[in-house]
Amino acid sequence: MADSTNGSAPLIRLEDVSKVFFTDEVETHALSGIDLEIRDGEYVAISGPSGCGKSTLLSILGLLDTPTEGVYRLNGESVESLKAKQRARIRNRQIGFIFQAFNLIGDLTVFENVELPLTDRGMPASERKKRVEEALERVGMAHRMKHYPSQLSGGQQQRVAVARALGGEPSVLLADEPTGNLDSKNGEAVMELLRDVHDGGATICMVTHDPRFETYAERIVRLFDGRIVDHTVDGVEPAGAA
């Protein structure tokens, strides 16, 4: 695990981040005063009950949403106020997404699904092919690269989704309830895969409501009513934690 006490700058840093949604003159405070650091090589789980702000926080981390207040630094760069095109470029190059619903495109093959995010980079076809094949090999799906999502089980589709995230060699993998649409056996298999990916050096931030799976992470950050209420490191609550 990355040493959170060393002098290197964190990969991700949120400072006093809040998010307020306005609907029909009603203010909904989804996040309030979030301070969070994630260092290169860490595996962090964001846990808490439904509606506590987990997915909102992950959307901000993934540059899919912007904070109402506060600062977000990714690789030392302040990103909370970037324009849409700049945010899209950073997402494509620095962030890998793994979604609960897999989000594979049905009329593309496994190979084409994994390749798709790389086509926006102007990468030569030979380099894309190499990246895709390596990513699929890494998740044990190279033998299915010509298949379509409908020909795969849920667990296999999630493996392809992990390969798609890995193909871009991102700074951080963001996983939003990656086992949510899987049975327990396939869920455990995907969690073992993510652990292997982390052991290979990847930085992972995962949202989960399942206490069985949050323990795969090195650090657990718990949210309640949009605030961080406590966190544990390798099962031990740090001194001074709320």
- Tell me if 58 sits within 8 A of 46, measured CB to CB: yes
The per-residue pLDDT of the chain, averaged, comes to 90
Q: What range does the domain containing 192 cover?
A: 12-233
Residue 113 is predicted with a pLDDT of 97
Q: Is the pTM of this model over 0.85?
A: yes
Q: Tell me the per-residue pLDDT of 4-51, one tens digit each, with 9 for 90 and over.
A: 444 578 999 999 999 999 888 889 999 999 999 999 999 999 999 988
**Tens-digit pLDDT profile for residues 215-238:** 999 999 999 999 999 877 765 454
Residue 5 lies in a domain: no
Residue 3 is assigned to a structural domain of this protein: no
* Residue 242: pLDDT band with limits 50, 70, 90: very low
Domain count, the chain: 1
What stretches of the chain show up as alpha helix (H) in DSSP? 54-61, 84-94, 110-119, 125-138, 154-167, 184-199, 211-214
| Residue 151, pLDDT above cutoff 60 | yes
